[in-house]
Structure 1
C-alpha cells in the first residue's frame, strides 16, 4: 500500500501539468501499475495534488472511494429503518425491502410512525421505500448479532409401521395448492437430552409457507396428537397431507390412526436425509431457535410463555413477513446450475392467490390482519423473550458447567494434564 501511495504521488505532479491526452496516458500507466480501476486512480491522483507537501508517505492513507461519497439516505431514515427492522423481527434486507410498504402502513396505523415525531416524516418514508435490499443490509449490519448457544438433535428413529408409510424425498414435485404440511419437533433441552424437557411441534405449509407452532410437555404420543388436533382446528384452510421425519413420536399407531380418521394423507422422509424436509428444517432455525433460543425449558410456566410467544410470532410471520420459494433451475454464464426463486410474498398473500378461500374466509382473514398491531406484537415478543431468558439462562449455563465438570472428572489424568496443564 505504501508503494502505491509513493507511485501515485510521483504520477500526480506530471498529471497536474499534462494535457488532456497525456493525462489519459498517465492514467493508463497508473492503472496498469497499481491494479486500480480508472475512477479510483483518478480520484487518488486528485487527492495527492491537494495533499500538503512534505507529508510522510507512511502516514498517507488511500481513500476509499465508497466512503468518500456523500450519504444518499439521511440519518433520520437510517434510525427509522432500524425501528422498522426491529418491529419486523430482524428479517433480512431482501424480505424487508419487499414488504417495507406493508410494515410502514401497519406501523402508521398503530401510531408508531407519526410524521413530525421521532425523526419520521414523509421524506423519510420516501427514502425507506427507495432503499434496496443491499443498502438495507449494509445500514443494519452494526445492529445484527448472533446467539452463540447451540442445540442438540433429539430425533430417534421409529421402525414401527415405517414400511406402511409412503416415502417423500427431496426433488418431488411441490404441491399445487395449500394444505400439505411438513412437521418436525424441536427439543428445548439445553446441553443435555437427559430428563424431561419441552418440545416445540412446528408445522409449515409447502405451498404458502404458512406456519403453526405449539410447545408441548414432552414427546409422548398423547401430547403429539393433541398438538396435531389443535393444528388442524387453528389453520384457516383445509389440511390435506402431513409429511414427517422417521422419529418415533410420529411413526406410531396413534398418529397414523388420527390421520386416517380425518382422511389426511401421511408421508415420511427417508432416514438420515434432512434435505427431504428442507422447508421445515429451515423453519426450525428461522422460527423456533431464533425466537425461542437454545435454553432448556422444563417447567409449566416456561411452556406457557413459549405458547404465548408462538402465537405472536406465527401471526407476524404469516401475515407480514415475506418469503421466497424455488421455482426451478437455470445456468449462469459458465454453465453452473443455479436455483431460481420467485418474488418475495407473505404466506397471507400466497394463500389469497391460491384461490382456495371463499369470499367470507377472505374477509375474515383480512379483518384479522387489520386488527393486528405490529408494534404491540414486537413489544410483547421482546417482553416474553426477556422473561424466558430470566427463567432459563442461568439454570441452562449452570447445567452446562456441571456437565463439563463431570466430563473433566471422568477424563484420564494424563489427558486432563495435557488439556489443562
Structure 2
C-alpha cells in the first residue's frame, strides 16, 4: 500500500474513530493496522493527531531572498571585475567609493535603488551572489641564494617587530621571471610594500644584481609619496652586500633582514608576490630589453590601480583558545585611504594624492592593464617555447541593461604555475640506449629499405646478434625510428618516390 493511500485512509477514518465508543474504536483500529501494517501504538498516535499535521508542510520562504535580483547581480559582477575580483570582505566596504569613482567617469547609469543596495550589502551576501561566477573561473619559485657573512652586521627583524610602525618602512623581495629555468639572464621584479599603509611599488629589473636592486629602489624613492625610512629584506646575496649597506647608510635608511627559512618574517611582501605579481604577470620567462620595457609600462599603470582602488585587510588581533585561532581584522581600506587617515603623513601630500585620485578612472585603468598585459605576454617564454597570446581590446562604458554582455577584462589574467617536469615532453634518457652500437646498421637498412618496420628490424637484429635483442624492445625501436624519420629528409624523398610509383 502506497504512502499516499495510507494517508487518505487515515483521513477518512480519523473522525469516525474519534467519535466511536471504546469497543468500536478497537475494531476500527484493528482494521486500520491490518491494512497499513503500522504498529498499534504508532497507529493510535496517528489517529489522535490533528488534521493539520497530516497536511504537507510548505517550505518557508526566507524573508529578503529576492531583494537582490539578477539586474543587481550583473551590476555587482561588473564592479567586481573592475576591482580585479577581490574578496568580498575587501570589496563590500569599498563599494561606495568605487561606485562613486565609476559614476564620476561616466561608467554607471544606475538608479537610486541599486545604489542604495550597493551601500548596505554585506560581505556574506556578496559571496552568495558571486558564487556561481566564481565556480566558472579556473585559475613561487624561489631563486634566493644565501648572502655572505655580512649578515652579522645587519639586524634581524621578525614578524612580531612590526607593531606600531609608521609609514615609510618597507618589506622588499625579488620575483624571478625565469619560467622554471634559472639558467641565463631573465627579468626580475623588485616588490616593495609599506607595512603601515600597504603602498605598493613594483620595479622591473633586467637582471638579478645588487646594482639593479639599488637602481630600482632609487626610482621607487621618487614615486613613494612619503619618506623611505626602512628596508627589510630576505637573506639573498642581491640584498646582503656592501653596496646595499652603503646605500642605506648614505640615505639614512634602517636596514634589517628576515631570518633564514622563515617566510612569515616577510609575510606582507610574500602575499603581494602571489596576489599581484604572479597573478597578473604569471610564471613565464621574460628576457631582453623589449620585455623589460613592456613590464615597466605595465607596472606604471598597475601601481595606480593597486594603490588607489585595491582595498586590503590588516590583522588587528589574534587569539588562541586551545586548537581554535580567532582573528580580528580592521576595515578594508586602500593604501591611499590609509595614508589619508594617517597622522604621520603631511597634509600637503594628502592633498596631492586626493587630486590625483579624483582624476583616475578604475574602469580605464583595468582596460589599460589588460592591453598592456597582452603586450607583455607577447614576449613570454614558457617551458614549451613562445606563449601564444590573443589580442585584447579596451573596455567601453556600459549601460545598466548591458551588464550581462559586458566583457570580462579579467579573463586574460592568469595565475598558472609551471607544470611539473614529469608532464612535459621528455627529451632526455633515463637508461642506456640498447641500439647505440648497431644504430648505424639500422640507419643504413632504413635508407636502403625505407618501408622496413620495427618488428622486422628486431627479427633481423636477433639473427645477426643472437641473444642481444628481443621483441620486448620493439616499442623502443619504434620511437627511435620515428624520430629519425622526422629528421631525415632523404627518407621523406624516398617514401614520396615509392608512393608515386
Give the TM interval when normalised to the shorter protein.
0.7 to 0.9
**Whole-Å separation in 2 of the counterparts to 1:250 and 1:376:** 36
**Whole-Å separation in 2 of the counterparts to 1:17 and 1:135:** 49
**Whole-Å separation in 1 of the counterparts to 2:179 and 2:265:** 26
**Whole-Å separation in 2 of the counterparts to 1:283 and 1:388:** 20
**Equivalent residue for 2:384?**
397
Structure 1 runs (4+) deviating above 6 angstroms are 6-19, 65-69, 399-406
**Whole-Å separation in 1 of the counterparts to 2:101 and 2:349:** 21
The match for 2:235 among 242, 246, 252 is 246
**Residues 183, 401 of structure 1: CA spacing in aligned structure 2 closer, same or farther, 3 A cutoff?**
closer
Contact 2:234 2:258 in 1 (8 A): yes
- Mapped pair 1:97 → 2:92: yes
**Whole-Å separation in 1 of the counterparts to 2:62 and 2:88:** 21
Contact 1:182 1:203 in 2 (8 A): yes
Contact 2:157 2:258 in 1 (8 A): yes
**Equivalent residue for 2:457?**
none
Contact 1:352 1:362 in 2 (8 A): yes
**Equivalent residue for 1:111?**
106
1:203 Cα deviation from its structure 2 partner: 0.4
Compute the RMSD of aligned alpha carbons. 3.4
Contact 1:9 1:45 in 2 (8 A): no
The match for 2:130 among 109, 125, 140 is 140
Look at both structures and tell me which one has the larger radius of gyration over its CA atoms: 2
**Residues 67, 183 of structure 1: CA spacing in aligned structure 2 closer, same or farther, 3 A cutoff?**
same
**Residues 85, 252 of structure 1: CA spacing in aligned structure 2 closer, same or farther, 3 A cutoff?**
same
Measured against aligned partners, the alpha-carbon deviations of 1:371-391 in whole angstroms (never above 9, x if no partner) come to: 111111010011112223343
1:413 Cα deviation from its structure 2 partner: 6.9
TM-score normalized with structure 1 length: 0.77
The match for 1:154 among 136, 143, 152 is 143
**Equivalent residue for 2:57?**
46
**Whole-Å separation in 2 of the counterparts to 1:16 and 1:112:** 66
**Whole-Å separation in 2 of the counterparts to 1:17 and 1:107:** 69
1:199 Cα deviation from its structure 2 partner: 0.3
Name structure 2 gaps, 5 residues minimum: 16-52, 387-417, 434-472, 480-501
Aligned residues: 363
Larger deviation, residues 70-79 vs 177-186: 70-79
The match for 2:113 among 98, 120, 123 is 123
**Whole-Å separation in 1 of the counterparts to 2:177 and 2:8:** 64
**Equivalent residue for 1:267?**
256
**Residues 104, 240 of structure 1: CA spacing in aligned structure 2 closer, same or farther, 3 A cutoff?**
same
Measured against aligned partners, the alpha-carbon deviations of 1:400-421 in whole angstroms (never above 9, x if no partner) come to: 899766755232379xx9xx99
**Equivalent residue for 1:319?**
308
Measured against aligned partners, the alpha-carbon deviations of 1:235-278 in whole angstroms (never above 9, x if no partner) come to: 00011110000001100111111111001000000111101111
3-state SS of 1:412 partner: coil
**Residues 146, 299 of structure 1: CA spacing in aligned structure 2 closer, same or farther, 3 A cutoff?**
farther
**Residues 335, 162 of structure 1: CA spacing in aligned structure 2 closer, same or farther, 3 A cutoff?**
closer
- Mapped pair 1:208 → 2:184: no
**Whole-Å separation in 2 of the counterparts to 1:139 and 1:322:** 20
Contact 1:174 1:206 in 2 (8 A): no
**Equivalent residue for 1:344?**
332
